[in-house]
Amino acid sequence: MKNLDTKQIRHTVDEAYEHLKGTKGGKNADYIPYLAGIDPSLFGISVCLPSGETIDAGDTQYRFGIESVSKVPTALLVMNQYDSKTVMEKIGADATGLPFNSIMAILLEKDHPTNPLVNAGAITACSMVKPVGDKQRKWQAIVDFQTDLCGSPLTLIDELYRSESDTNFNNRSIAWLLKNYSRIYDDPEMSLDLYTKQCSMGVTARQLAIAATTIACGGRNPVTGKQVFRSELTPKIVSLIAAVGFYEHTGDWLYTSGIPAKSGVGGGIMGIVPGIMGISAFAPPLDASGNSVKAQEAVKYIARKLGVNIFAPKPETRPEPVLA
């Protein structure tokens, strides 16, 4: 891929921000009451390079709910504590083609939660976190891993945690259905609570860009220099993200962006270009599948302008305009 210079990236990030900041469309998630109240005009973009340099525009220091992006650190934690084969056997790596909270996906494939990056597989991943049976230490392991991946601590948004705990009936059904199929490996209520709590952590767009680059660089955090996970897990986690990062719209997303990325209903998106960079964007209004409208456009804009696409044999020298 292209050798990218910082000035060019700075220019592209600023341009994407200016171009897209007025974009309308989408709606904040409202099935979690806290998210409905977040200012829909917030918008931030952050790119992080393997040198650790971050290039930001807009609200990149605002702490928003990490939500489903938290499935990535916990999947990596479990792959790192066990190995990728065990995660494949106990959870799976298939695309569901269905919404993130699908119960149907479990019924269709009852020998597998399918993938640690949808709700069912993420709750199973929480059940696998070691030490099994010790809620406090499992939680600490999850928080420490998020911190190491991002290079700085995330903070629990108490109000979001309460809001989500009061309304997570669908996820509770998932946890117990997994129990029915012997696909949960610790107490189901405890695993559900760990999942709900990890989704309620506050993260910034800049932290997500750094986490993406840690993954892009084989587990070495570009800011702290810490080796967070075994480098052979990068292609594994990136393949999981590529398969299911945008739920039922993952194919459309990959086809149009060329970048494996994970979204969350808090409005964040984290995109990974292995060996090259991490790109994140944040804006609360979502499309019908729960993916941020503006953040999707921002990541695509930057990818297209910089000519980064993991499927391309060489840099795209003549980028097509992404936007109408």
To the nearest whole angstrom, how small is the minimum distance from the Cβ of residue 182 to ligand GLN?
22
Comparison of 192 and 310: residue with beta carbon closer to ligand GLN:
192
Binding site for ligand GLN (CB under 6 A): 67-68, 100-101, 119, 164, 171, 199, 264-265, 290
To the nearest whole angstrom, how small is the minimum distance from the Cβ of residue 4 to ligand GLN?
30
To the nearest whole angstrom, how small is the minimum distance from the Cβ of residue 9 to ligand GLN?
28
Helix segments in the chain, DSSP class H: 6-20, 33-36, 71-81, 84-90, 104-108, 119-128, 135-150, 158-165, 169-180, 188-199, 205-216, 233-244, 250-257, 293-306
To the nearest whole angstrom, how small is the minimum distance from the Cβ of residue 291 to ligand GLN?
8
To the nearest whole angstrom, how small is the minimum distance from the Cβ of residue 199 to ligand GLN?
4
Comparison of 67 and 193: residue with beta carbon closer to ligand GLN:
67
Instruction: State the residue for tokens 């600023």.
Output: 14
Comparison of 51 and 170: residue with beta carbon closer to ligand GLN:
170
Comparison of 149 and 223: residue with beta carbon closer to ligand GLN:
149
Comparison of 60 and 168: residue with beta carbon closer to ligand GLN:
168
Comparison of 164 and 186: residue with beta carbon closer to ligand GLN:
164
The residue sitting closest to ligand GLN, measured at its beta carbon, is: 68
CB 46 within 8 A of CB 208: yes
d(Cα 314, Cα 319) in Å, to the nearest integer?
A: 12
d(Cα 170, Cα 261) in Å, to the nearest integer?
A: 25
Fill in the amino acid letter for 21: K
Q: Residue 142 CA to chain centroid, in angstroms? A: 15
- C-alpha closest to that of 122 among 136, 108, 102, 104: 102
The verdict on whether omega for the bond into residue 319 sits within 30 degrees of 0, i.e. cis, is no
To the nearest whole angstrom, how small is the minimum distance from the Cβ of residue 65 to ligand GLN?
8
- C-alpha closest to that of 305 among 320, 294, 293: 320
